[in-house]
Amino acid sequence: MTDHLGRVLIIAGSDSGGGAGVQADIKAVTALGGYAASAITAITVQNTLGVQAIHALPPDLVEAQARAVLDDIGADALKVGMLGDVAMVEAVARILDAAAGAPVVVDPVMVAKGGAALLAGTAIAAMRTLMIPRAALLTPNAPEAAALTGLTVETTDDLRRAGDALLAAGARAVLMKGGHIVGDSVVDVLMTTTGETTFEGPRIDTRHTHGTGCTLASACAAGLAQGLPLEQAVGRAWGYTAEAIRRAPGFGAGHGPLDHAWPMRGR
């Protein structure tokens, strides 16, 4: 834990079930000692069984939420999640440009755990041109990396090749997540232009993984907001998320939420 609170502005969708989206983001940042503010991009109707409805908020309202936070509270880092369409991507790009150089963690959310599409196919090109170059850290899983690069991503070596392509596209660092890669272990690879760090652990046999990507990205943003070096921020976030999966409370009949609050109760 760090003594620096760290202000994180979260730009993402709301999850009524509390397992992913802004709710997971706020829990993760708070559990790691940071301060979370938000600009909500969409309201979803969902639970552990899936997404039943999505209501996107007007991009100008999202921009107004973010600017209200930035103008008064400020932000030491930003986390970007569900955007939805091209107009929202463009609005968020303007927000990031107004954030006075604070590092941005971009989680390129495309599909919900239950399979619902959260990003229009027409917005993928906008993600490539407007979000990737603004990312201090990009956190794609294998399907997202494939969509952003056009490459096949089925192995850890494929993850690395896609990571190289995303660095070439302008991201300053990428955390290539291997949860979708078949194997007994989960291997995530943090890549920068100067090298890579691998995070590996046994695959946890559980259906309670809803919001894992949101949680990991926000935990990374909390570390960066608190002034941690990139590798340390990601390492802490990785360990925090893995333990949150292990301690999942078992809620719901589908893909259940994690235990975001576990650090508050100790090991």
Catalytic residues: 177, 209, 211-214
Q: Structure tokens of 171?
A: 């991201």
DSSP one-letter string for 178-221:
-TTS-SSEEEEEEEETTEEEEEEEEPP--S--BTHHHHHHHHHH
Alpha-carbon span 78 to 68, nearest angstrom: 14
In degrees to the nearest 10, what's the CA dihedral of 166, 168, 170, 173?
60
The dihedrals phi and psi of 103, each to the nearest 5 degrees, come to -65, 145
DSSP 258: P
Q: Return the number of other C-beta atoms located less than 10 Å from residue 89's C-beta.
A: 23
Closest C-alpha to 37, from 208, 218, 167: 218
